[in-house]
Every structure is written in structure tokens, then in C-alpha cells.
Structure 1
């Protein structure tokens, strides 16, 4: 039976706070604009980058013709920049590399939202997107064909305020270099395959408000240094494999809400759940037996899907992430690998 996870706060109020943070961060407030409102250099360089997306997503290539990009479907222009908002279509395509020969200081793209593309979007997260230094919001979620690691180079995206990669298959560790992302307020990596430890260096994220890291493969100690983030209000960590207890500095931080299993909290923190600061982060497993024994099921219910590590939402019959040695099918079941 799955261990019951008691939250520090009710789920509904927490969801409301997250929604409020997302609605009030990185939202364009400037007036609507046309292509001619931008300088010649801004028009040229922005158009070149948008055409890279049009080549990578064929349906966009059919619709995005000519040079008046502010008149294109899914593109909205403001005096401060350009937003690409594809939250109501399900096209197929890949994540393009950024083109060469572009002066990226004149690329006016400030928001990219591919949240509706789901299974149609594939590829890895391009390190070259670090050139998009004006980008304020990036949403790539529910795309299980999006893989690869979190690029350390994205630390150059110093304007990025919202980053949502939940329910993708991104993996690897949390880059310590991201500490230089001083505008990052909301990070959502829920139900991804990221692993390793929480970087103490992230205490330098001075704008961080919500870090949603539930149901990944994270482990190790909870860094006391994170309490130094002046705006931090939400840290969601349930469904991982952490050691030790919630640091006193977190507990004493006014307004901070932490969601994690009871075994890591206060008087309920078990005496043998010690945090060994000398332990190296766990390496990727080479067998299927050990991960299955330590996997964390979906809260409140046992998963009925054979080979499943984490159920999808409240459904015990649909899988969100399979164990090592299994592949997730389109029917949300797990298919065993056979040598």
C-alpha cells in the first residue's frame, strides 16, 4: 500500500497560489503592436528565428509565410516583444536549433508556449536556445517525446521567468549553473526524469518563487542554503528519494510552503533518516530490481499498471512514468524490454 503523504497545506490553496504566481509573472502588459513597430534589425533577426520554428514544425511552415510575422497565426506582438502561443493546437514537429548569423540582441521573442502539442513535439532541449536572452516564458509540457538533459548553457537566459517542462522525459541533473538565472520565478519539472541532488548554488536565484520538483528521481540532502532565496514561497518535493529532514532554515522562513513526505518533517523525521553529506549522488541503475523496490507510487493509490513507477494523476490504471526496463506506450501502459 502506498505510503500516505500528509501535506503541510491543503492541495487546493497551494494550487491557487501557484496559479497566482504564474498569472502575475512574465505576462506581457505592453500594448499590441505590428511588425512595422520594430526596428529593421529587430524585424530581420526575429523573422529568421521564427522561420527556424516554421521549418521544424511543418504545419507552421504552411501558415507562416511572408515577412509580416505579427499577422501570423499563434503570434502576438507587443511593443516590448513577440509571443508565440500554441496552447490550442496539436501539430507535430521538433525543437529547432537556433540559426547562425543572427544578432540575438535584436530577437524580440519573449514567450514560447507549446503546451498543447503533447505527443506531437519531439527532440531534445537545444543548448543553442541559450541565445534567446529576451525569452521570459517557455512552456513545453506533456511531451513525452521531448528528452535529453537540462542544458547548463540555459543559464545565459537571464530574462527567463517561467519554465514549465512537466510530464516531459527530460533527464540528467539540475544544473548548478542555473543559479545565474536571476529572473527565474517559476520552475515546473514535475513528473520528469531529472535526478541527482538539489544544487545549493540555486540559493542565488533571487527571483525564485515556486520550485515544483515532484515525482522525479531526485535524492540526497535538502540544502539549507535555499532559505536564502528572498522570494521563495513554494517548494514541492514529494515523490523523490531524499535523505534527512527539512532544514530548520526552511522551517523558519516566513511564508515558505514545503510539500514532502512526513518522514522528512519536524518531529516526524525518523531518527534513522540521516543526511550523509559525503555521499555521492546515485548513479543510473543497471538492473530493474532495485528501482522497483524504491519507487514512489502515486499519492493516495496503488498503481495497477505492471512495470509502472508513477501513475497518471489519480488514475491507478494509467501510467505517467515506467520503471527502468520498461517503455511507456500510447495507451499509458508499460512494455517490458527484452534482450
Structure 2
């Protein structure tokens, strides 16, 4: 069933988050633990200093935390009228490493709307600037807004019964009430930082030692329901399809599933752990093709493999193709990482 309003008319809607997000030392550690990323630069100031960072370095997907806070207004008051949102694509563009003490401000924009297979695909752009006024990361999130028969009746009531107090459950209404908000908080055009493109990378892998087709050492990560609950709390993702059986069933899922962003975080750590320098990753893009089911009575797993797709000797950069599988199913439809090498 189609949405009862013209969401395409909202393309271009933008605003700046009301407050900055200050990156905390312990929050970096909490998030690194949640995505099972044990690179020392996320945990030890000495290790981070050895790579010439001013503090602990945030994992690649860390900015999804301030993005979720900044985007809440968009989903609660602007893009309403859908029963469920399903994440489909994610892109991170890194211009400057995020470190302890950074104060990130997010500009939020509904960048595009496409209609495919009866669903609206909405792309939200988050542009993060730090206290110097430079853009440190740009994040694109694409979700499918779903309405109709594929979603069981009463799901909003079911969610409201189990989510933490104070979390809004978006009502299925029209977007007409948001017309006066289209011009809220005009944003500036801050400059993109060049740090991630000009900084000398301290990778454990040298460009000269790689050839196209080389494979990364595979990695298998294990996930339990406890890991999902922990990630939900650390990242601020209150969606109960990641921890509540009944709600997952009402949305048509076979069981509770891992967060797409959690799986992406695991994949990013797979790459940066091989690199040896988290700041050497400049772009990370993932298209989700399936989900990782986590049964309450057993441990789930995700297997990551990767290979070098292309090499550029002029810039000493590489593109890596990443494959993630769970229970024999490909979780990533297409995933690539652009990296700089020593």
C-alpha cells in the first residue's frame, strides 16, 4: 500500500540539530565493545598517540549515535505516515578522524526519495562538523518506509508496551502538519576537512605488498541476544525487533534480528583491524540484502571475508569488497571500503 501523502514533496527538508554531541572517552570504549572492535586506538591513549591521534579514535560507525539523536525529529514530526522503517543502505564518508572531546553538530537533510517495488526509499544525509567548523564525516542512510498488509495490525500498541519510557512511537499520520517546518534552521556550507586524505597513514599493510585479488584473513564474530541488547543501549536504538520476539513476529520477521548498523560496525572493524590504522578508512558503504537472525537459545555468527578489488598506485589507495554471511545467507548485498595505505 502506498503512503497517504506525497513524501517526495519533502525532499530538501533540512535543519541543524539543536545541540552538539560531545564525544566521550568512555562512550568510544562502550561502542567499540558493542561492535567487538578491539583495536588499541579505541581503548588506549598511548596506542592512539602512537598513531598520532589527539585522543581515542571513534570506530567508523560511531557517528550513527549522534545521527540517531539528530534524526529523531525528522522521523517523529516530518516523515510520518509509515508503519515500519527498514534500513537498506548506508554510506560513511570520512574526512577527519573523530576523537575524544570532539563536539559534533549534525545537519540533517531528506536528500532523496525513490519508489521501488511499492515502497518509498528515503535517503537521509547527516553532515557532521566539529568545533573547528570543518566537516569530519558525511553519512547517508537509506530506509524503506513500509505501510499496509505486510505489517500486522496493532504493532504501534505492541511497541509502546515494551519500549523504554520517554521514547516516542511515531503515529501514522499525514505530513501536512510539517509544511511550516520546511525552511527551519538554514544550514551553512562548511568546508570538507582534508585530514583523512592528507594524513600519512600508519597501516600495518604496505601498498607495495598488495595485488588485486588478494584476500583478507577471514573473521567470524559471534552474537547473542545479550550483544543485541547491549548494542541497543549503547547506540540508543530502541527498536524492539532486535530484542523482543513478539514485536519481531508482528513485523513479519522469523525471529529477533541483529541491528543492521551493528553488523556494519563489525564489518568496519574487520577492515580496520587488518589495516592497523582506523583512520586509514575513507569511505565505507553497505547495501543490506538479508538479516542476521539471533535465536534466544543459541549463539549466532557472522563470517566476514574480503578481497582487494582495485589498487591506485598514484594515491596508494585500495578498494576492498566485503562479504558478510550468516547461516549461509549473504547479509551484505554489496559492501566496499576505500582505504589509504602506507
TM-score relative to the length of structure 2? 0.19
* Greater length-normalized contact order (CA 8 Å, ≥ 6 residues apart): 2
Larger relative strand fraction:
2
